[in-house]
Structure 1
Amino acid sequence: MPTPAHLQYEKRLAAGKARRESCSRTLQAQCLLSPQRDVVDMLRQTSAGRVPSLIPLRYSRMQASPFAFFRGMAMIQAADLAATPNSGITLQTCGDAHLMNYGFFASPERQLMFDINDFDETHQAPWEWDIKRLAVSVVLAARNRGFSNAAARQAVCQLVGTYRKRMQEYAQMSQLELWYCKVGFEQLLQRANSDSIRQQLLKLADKARGQTQEKLLPKMTVLEDGSLRLRDNPPVIFHMQQQDQVWGNDEHWLGDGSSHDLLHTMLAEYSATLKEDRRTLLSRFRLVDAAFKVVGVGSVGTRCLVMLLQDEYDQPLFLQLKEARNSVLEPYTQPCVHGHQGKRVVFGQRLMQAASDLFLGWTTGPGDRHFYVRQLRDMKAAPALESFDSAESLAAFGQACAWALARAHAKSGGRAAEMAGYIGQSDKFDQAIASYAMSYADQVELDFAVFTAALAEHKL
């Protein structure tokens, strides 16, 4: 006789399968565009509120390739996805699940884990929006590396197939099993199907283990007048007193003598968002220095600071304060329910990751700008696009990302059985997403051409 748990599992599978009536898996192949889309106008929208003098640097990084442009403009695909059919199953999504937003980092227990590592756009949304963004990024990465369209499509099919099979497994786990589940370095290494992929994983792991707080100290700091100071490396990292013009007239506080007082206020508010034991740990460090840091592609021009703190033995703690703006998904889903964009990022990260940074929290700066806080580069490492020297290595990394994404969705939504029922066990969903990804990658290349033309014509 079936157990109550099995009956509930079957009921949820059936509910997911029934959702195909309103949005079949074949419909997921449709590549529809927002009727209001205007690429140049969207670029202007995403640049509003950023540090004006850094916007050209942002555009320069996006101009490198269609893949870089895609990374920097999540807003465009968000608008287009909102115009396409979806399964109706919503949950906490990453919001920007492209290929380069996955990598290794250390759990609080110092175990090397593989997971999503960027949650700036996290928000409640249809789960398949994440898988579609990941799939398109794989196609663009394949084209960037000179691989054939056939290889790109195959990589996407393998990626979605991995997601599908993992979701079938997660659908049969209890909620506690899902909560404790993780993708560790050793698990990935055991599943590496070639020596070259295994060597790439080992190289990444070595890089991650070299990114501890202590090992960052000589790379990030210099000794001046007997005190440590963050090393200037413009335009990537610099002290605001040297380039305070980037902040605008209303933010002169970062270039005057009161900056440390203000940062102490921000740190105090941030400390209150930590668990009590971690708040106690933070209290054993003192603020030594702070500098502006330019990060990523899509985040260039947002306010991001690096702070150097030291304990009584002068051992370092590097914290990163990163501005949290509204998620690009918000206009097409629902308003933020957290009352603070930094809290939104922290909530999404804690909910989706298997384990999160010990020092993850949020705070508010001048002008009511919202920030979230985390450690800087704490055993973090991700492959560069150029490291994919074969379609096989790219496909393998895509499958690792799909595994991590499936685990994150199963944990965050608690609806793995319903999702598994919708996806099914055949490759119909895989093929649909692959068709979508190939078509949308073509559209990204057209949008990239519009972007480069606008730059050439000085419209941006």
Structure 2
Amino acid sequence: MTTASHPKYDQHYANGKARRRDCPRTSQAQVHLAAERDVVALVESSSQGRVPALAPLRHARMHASPFAFFRGMAMIQAADLAAGPDSGLRLQICGDAHLMNFGFFASPERQLVFDINDFDETHPGPWEWDLKRLAVSLVLASRGLGFSADEARATVLRLAETYRRRLLGFSQMSQLDLWYCRVGFEQLLSQATDAGMRQQLQKIADKARNQTQERLLPKMAELDDGGLRLRDNPPVIFHLDDQNSPLAACDDWLGDDGLAKTQAMLVRYIDTLKEDRRELLQRFRLVDAAFKVVGVGSVGTRCLALLLQDDYDQPLFLQLKEARPSVLEPFTGRCVHGNQGKRVVFGQRLMQATSDLFLGWTDSEDGRHFYMRQLHDMKAAPALETFANAEELASYGQACAWTLARAHAKSGGCAAEIAGYLGDSDKFDQVLADYAQAYADQVEADYRLFDAAVRGGRLPCAPTPR
């Protein structure tokens, strides 16, 4: 069902096109930098409120490459984007839409879908901020893999063209059709033009299908005194009562009665679920909890892996993850949800085609906010180094652009306006490629400052555990 012939569609499209007068598409190629921009000081400030002993691990993960640094410091680009042009079309955006924040996961019906999978920074903002972050990540990935400048630019042009074309298609769908639309594995596989990319998608999908709760059990837990206990692997995963853990060294979060306080957070979380899922969760009991270090930008925030079991001792792994204020909040308005975890859940439900069955939020006694979801349930994404050539990377970038266009169309309800702003030529594609290459240069310059601070000892850096 399409709405392209409806007079309202024509009006919305024209309104979007008219926005070019205040914000010309060519202006989007310009790189603007925030007024106060001390890169090393920003890295230091971003550690505030995190577990201090994990700062060296976070720095080590960011130190791996300019792309890893870019992943770990979304706040820098957010400030720079806020200093630049704005189309004026605002909607719920991801806030951190780089390449590695897309991947496969299971729908509640156990179907494999491809979508954005990280919403820690979700917040209302200009739609183009997501697209620019995705484009820059593509250039940095291309450079990190040794592809040429022409190949890097070509990947962005294909990303931009795919976003523009898909967004136009989504703008002509009814709201209900759009709400039910999703990018499934088979659909994505059929669109892949490169044989290597199809093979890689198949491998990722196979990996995702093997990431079930039952298969996760022997990897994550072991028998201890007749019961199950999560496996320790410090400093990546460790128990709250471990007196030698990074947490014990400098932070008394949850204290000695960590499991009891975790149970209290779990009870508050269950109250945020829909009634049927609330009933399901109440059939499980909490068996164990351990601190789990995740990602790059999230290292040092409070995250727990929870092991639950039903009456037949079958497992359910949940992840409790701290939700801090979005990096977009200083530039686009305060969080209206009262709980940062609820902000993440709201944005995820609004932007994803389908969300985790157990997605909800909670808080701790010390006022920290969290969201919860299943841990590793049929989730998988490609590792950057697995892209053998620029064609494979470009194809993956197109998949990300496709699902980002769908997410923006669903979350904002203003796809026709965005389509009007973009137009039907490749003008914006070229503009985005110019911006992505120029800002990638800036990221590499920022990384050199970060690298100097690490090598000079200002920023402590520990070897990354394998």
Q: 1:100 deviation in Å?
A: 0.2
Q: Is the 8 A contact 1:155 1:391 kept in 2?
A: yes
Distance 1:4 1:131 in 2: 24
Q: 1:35 deviation in Å?
A: 1.4
- Using the size of structure 2 for normalisation, the TM-score is 0.96
Q: Which SS does the other structure have where 1:297 is aligned?
A: coil
- CA deviations on 1:392-443 (whole Å, 9 max, x unpaired) are 0000000000000000000000000000000001000000000000000000
- One-letter code of the match for 1:152? A
Alignment pair present for 1:16 and 2:24: no
Q: 1:264 deviation in Å?
A: 1.3
Q: Which SS does the other structure have where 1:47 is aligned?
A: coil
RMSD: 1.3
Aligned CA distance change for structure 1 residues 287 and 20 (closer, same or farther; 3 Å): same
- CA deviations on 1:304-358 (whole Å, 9 max, x unpaired) are 0000000001000000000000000001110001111000000000000000000
Q: Is the 8 A contact 1:236 1:293 kept in 2?
A: yes
| Matching residue of 2:56 | 56
Q: 1:210 deviation in Å?
A: 0.5
Q: 1:198 deviation in Å?
A: 1.0
Q: Is the 8 A contact 2:240 2:258 kept in 1?
A: no
Alignment pair present for 1:192 and 2:192: yes
| Matching residue of 1:321 | 320
| Matching residue of 2:304 | 305
Q: Which SS does the other structure have where 1:366 is aligned?
A: coil
Q: Is the 8 A contact 2:53 2:249 kept in 1?
A: no
Q: Is the 8 A contact 1:230 1:290 kept in 2?
A: yes
Q: Which SS does the other structure have where 2:240 is aligned?
A: coil
| Matching residue of 2:258 | 259
- One-letter code of the match for 1:70? F
Q: Is the 8 A contact 2:238 2:245 kept in 1?
A: no
Work out the percentage of aligned pairs sharing the same amino acid: 68
| Matching residue of 1:369 | 368
Q: How does 1:332-351 map to 2 (within 5 A)?
A: 332-351=331-350
Q: Is the 8 A contact 1:189 1:198 kept in 2?
A: yes
- One-letter code of the match for 1:441? A
Alignment pair present for 1:106 and 2:114: no
- CA deviations on 1:119-163 (whole Å, 9 max, x unpaired) are 000000000000000000000000000000110000000001000
Q: Which SS does the other structure have where 2:295 is aligned?
A: coil
Q: Is the 8 A contact 1:93 1:130 kept in 2?
A: yes
Q: Is the 8 A contact 1:19 1:422 kept in 2?
A: yes
- One-letter code of the match for 1:133? R
Q: Is the 8 A contact 2:270 2:360 kept in 1?
A: yes
Distance 1:216 1:418 in 2: 45
Q: Is the 8 A contact 1:92 1:409 kept in 2?
A: yes
Structure 1 unmatched runs, 5+: none
Q: Which SS does the other structure have where 1:325 is aligned?
A: coil
Q: Which SS does the other structure have where 1:20 is aligned?
A: coil
| Matching residue of 1:287 | 286
Q: 1:36 deviation in Å?
A: 1.2
Q: How does 1:41-440 map to 2 (within 5 A)?
A: 41-243=41-243, 246-247=246-247, 252=252, 254-256=254-256, 258-440=257-439
Q: Which SS does the other structure have where 1:32 is aligned?
A: coil
Distance 2:77 2:340 in 1: 21
Q: 1:38 deviation in Å?
A: 1.1
- One-letter code of the match for 2:213? Q
Distance 2:231 2:246 in 1: 19
Q: Is the 8 A contact 1:244 1:255 kept in 2?
A: no
Q: Is the 8 A contact 1:244 1:252 kept in 2?
A: no
Q: 1:246 deviation in Å?
A: 3.4
Q: 1:238 deviation in Å?
A: 1.1
- One-letter code of the match for 2:282? S
Distance 1:94 1:361 in 2: 18
| Matching residue of 1:40 | 40
Q: 1:459 deviation in Å?
A: 2.3
- Using the size of structure 1 for normalisation, the TM-score is 0.97
- One-letter code of the match for 1:268? V
Q: Is the 8 A contact 1:321 1:371 kept in 2?
A: yes
Q: 1:248 deviation in Å?
A: 6.3
